[in-house]
Chains A and B, each alone.
Chain A
Amino acid sequence: MTATTNIAIDTTPPLRPAKLQRSLVNTVDMARTATVGMRTRKMRTALSALGIMIGIAAMVGVLGLSESSKSELLAQLDSLGTNLLTVQAGAGVGAGSGELPADAAAMISRIGPVEVTTTISEVEGANVYRTDYIPTTQTSGITVQAVDLSLVDTLAGTIDDGTWLTDATADYPTTVLGSVAAERLGITEITGTQQVLIDDEWFTPIAILDQFELSPDLDRAALVSLDAASNYLGDENVPTSILVRVDPDRIDDVTSVLAATANPQNPEEVEVERPTDALEAREAAGDALTALFLGLGAVALLVGGVGIANVMVISVLERRTEIGLRRALGATKKHVSLQFLGEALLLAGVGGVGGVALGALATRTYADIRGWDTIIPPIAMAGGVVAALIIGAGAGLYPAIRAARLSPTDALRTG
């Protein structure tokens, strides 16, 4: 350095600052900074995402199972038909004799939209025994019903073993056993050589039926043809109930006139029911349960959200020096808050996607076990992820604001 005695004149223009450029982070880098916590604290990330995952899985699973079972029911209703009505004689005090007029079926069949009628006549006092050594008091609760040959078609029933009554077999002492009746009699298959005793007459079982979805009473019955009942059991073929298939579009019209048609003198003694209503009622009860489970899922989700908020608050406390460092490197408050908000969203998003996958898997597994079609409503899947993100945003907001408000000097001092 050379010292001079002259006073030098400053000829350099004063330093003029360039225009100050703002801090900038592109979106991809912003997203990448949101993964820092996940990458450096893997176990905690997994556990906090698990909370959300369980909630979402529960909701998706419940919705999926509900839909799958509903689809099963719809398929069942579809195959059974919702156009079946039963006309029964009321029984008991003030409800009549428990019998319909003998010509009820003929009259009902004259109603225009009625497609087919099937008469069922309970053979009063008849019991069924495997052998004549069994005390008569041991009836096993099996009833004897005289039925039209159209019964199986009308009820969309299926045969487990053997052959349903035909014109050829109907005149003989043959019987078709309901599924429960067959089990109680110890008959698991039709050999052609078995016989059962009905009211002192030996009948040959020629078929065993599968369970009736629409008429469980018939499962506990030995069915004989109306002719056989009349010829061998002395039954008068008085109808106790009549099954009616009607035009699906005119069900209500037919229902309104059915009682008066079946028994014009005492229409109030006639009960008209639609068996599929019972199935639908069962489903409605299922819907209530679904709502309950959805509520539980929502609670699980909320708890998951609180878990994420908790983890994020702890994370902000633990990562004060990182926040200080980022502020020193030029991050604005907004950058810091977006980083932590992004991290909460990411945690929740991972939990949401995982939850949807888990819920779908659970639905699939259960539906497979029950033999249902797996149906997971797309809205449940999309809704699951969106719900998780909303929870994540809610949970991340406070920690993010807290992180942004942290003074950089305080943050660095704690390091």
Chain B
Amino acid sequence: MTSTTTTRNDNHGAAVQTPAPVLAFDNVVKEYPSTPPVRALDGVTFDVGEGELMAIVGPSGSGKSTLLHIMGTLDRPTAGDVTVAGHQVSTLSDRELSGLRSRHIGFVFQQFHLLNGYTALDNVADGALYTGATRSERRELARQALTKVGLAHRIDHEANKLSGGERQRVAVARAILGDPSIILADEPTGNLDSKSSDAIVELIQSLNAAGATIVVITHNPDIAKLFPRSVGIRDGRIDYDTRTTP
């Protein structure tokens, strides 16, 4: 993935280089209908640049999941603009959003969401099922992705016979299949022991080093600290947005 960069002034008048946004939120509001309406997101504005690795961190009920769903185009905002890979989400039909997800967004879930009874290879190959790639193409991509996440030796193992850490690696491999514009990981270490959790964080870091744009959603500030950018969210608003300069 090549990095296109734009420059802007930071708060101190100095110009810093930031990548072109792959994902942009502009004053996004999400309300769930009830009496009174629940405002899960309240004017959220931020960008995710190409090649960025960031964490969105916040306690339970802060609006993280809603944010993830809107970032992943699984849900639409009540107000505000969302742009993913240059496409304005509000202008796209449900079918077009599916197309956008199939090619531009990779998901990693806390519960892995693998199909039991299917091999690691077939689970990963499903990552590109809706792109129109043939089965052999998908399997070849899946083989490469599994090798990339260090599971080349587990290709033919059934998903339910793998350890938690391995299952999450399979899920990561599925998300990176087809080189999506952005990978959204929802509590990817939430169901793992600390050793597996560290390994997944390392994997995410190495994928980012290789050029992938990754957003990790977590409730754990210690995990968030491991990433170069951390966006805190509380009560549906952005609490802080900090970058660590390497």
Contacts and interface: CB of A to CB of B under 8 A. Distances in A.
A221 B126 CA distance: 82
B101 to A, nearest CB: 5
Contacts of B20: 12, 15
Nearest to A40: B117
A23 B72 CA distance: 15
Interface string A393-415: 00000000000000111001101
Interface in B154-190: 174
B168 to A, nearest CB: 14
A7 B20 CA distance: 17
Contact of A329 (B6, B21, B92, B101): B101
Contact of B102 (A5, A15, A329, A415): A329
B98 A415 contact: no
A79 B126 CA distance: 66
B15 A328 contact: no
Interface stretch (A24-32, A244-252, A286-294, A349-357): A24-32
A26 B133 CA distance: 8
A36 B100 CA distance: 25
Instruction: Give the contact-size bracket for chain B.
Output: 35 or more
A137 interface: no
Main secondary structure, interface of B, reads mixed
A8 to B, nearest CB: 4
B75 to A, nearest CB: 5
Nearest to B107: A328
B90 interface: no
Interface stretch (B108-116, B195-203, B218-226): B108-116
A331 B118 CA distance: 19
Contacts of A324: 74, 113
B209 interface: no
Contacts of A8: 7, 15
Contacts of B129: 25, 29, 33, 326, 329-331
Interface of A: 1, 3-8, 10, 12, 15-18, 20-26, 28-29, 32-33, 36, 39-40, 321-322, 324-335, 407-409, 412-413, 415
Interface of B: 4-9, 13-17, 20-21, 65, 69, 72, 74-75, 85-87, 92, 94-96, 98-103, 105, 107, 109, 111, 113, 115-118, 126-127, 129-132, 134-135, 174, 245
